[in-house]
Structure 1
Amino acid sequence: MWTKQHKKRHYGRLVTPIMATAFFSYFGYHSLNGDLGLRATEVFEQRRVAREAELGDLVKVRKELERQVSLMSAGSLEKDMLDEKARYYLNVSRSDEIVIFK
């Protein structure tokens, strides 16, 4: 007859709670601080708002440039615009003129 006695250990009861705590801690931490976490989402949103403002400024500049190009196109060439651009880029003026650069 086999009569060896051994004491039961209760470590088996702790394995599941420890594993669950580790699992939730890991994913909880990365849901806040990870590359796609809540804090990173806030940073992305701030960048998006800043870039939308920058886009608005660039759209205004582009429209102004398109307007200037349309004034210099072959169909509606305005001599004043052509004269202004030529003087600005070639740095030429008459002696009786006053030049103010913006």
Structure 2
Amino acid sequence: MLAFLRPYLSTAALALLIFYFGYHAFTGEGGLLQSDKRDATLTAKTEELKTVTAQRRDLEVRAQLLRDTSLSADLLEERARSLLGFADPRDYVIRMEP
């Protein structure tokens, strides 16, 4: 019986190998059926990139205002109060739990 099937073993192994890779090409992590998930991830990451870019621009402007060449007195006072924990007598302080 085994001698009868011997010529077909290499064909069967090759067919199983093709089926295995074909299955994973469609349903794997980067497969063709996962394109909706990739599109959703791309959209979310694009929005996150816009947010982070806006935050970076804001930080760059604030850092520019703290440089020696263009020192902003208001920003310097705000940072000093924030770091030292002081408040102006006219300020309203709202304490929040961390």
- Measured against the shorter chain, the TM-score band is 0.5 to 0.7
The 1:32/1:78 distance shift into structure 2, 3 A limit, reads: same
Deviation at 1:31, TM superposition (A): 3.0
1:98 aligns with 2:91: yes
For these two proteins, the number of residue pairs brought into alignment is 86
Tell me the percent identity: 27
> How far apart are residue 42 of structure 1 and its match?
2.9
- Displacement of 1:28 after TM fit? 4.4
Task: Give the superposition deviation at 1:35.
Answer: 3.3
Q: How far did residue 60 of structure 1 move?
A: 0.3
Correspondence for 1:66 among 50, 60, 63: 60
One-letter code of the match for 2:32? L
Q: TM-score scaled to structure 2, two decimals? A: 0.66
**Structure-1 separation of matches of 2:36 and 2:27:** 11
Q: CA RMSD in A?
A: 2.7
Larger radius of gyration: 1
* SS of 1:39 mapped into structure 2: helix
Greater shift, 79-88 or 59-68, is seen at: 79-88
Does residue 33 (structure 1) correspond to residue 27 (structure 2)? The answer is yes
Higher helix share: 2
For normalisation by structure 1, the TM-score amounts to 0.64
Structure 1 position 27, deviation (Å): 4.9
C-alpha distance in structure 1 between counterparts of 2:28 and 2:34, whole Å:
7
2-structure distance, mates of 1:99, 1:83: 16
Helix, strand or coil at the partner of 2:87: coil
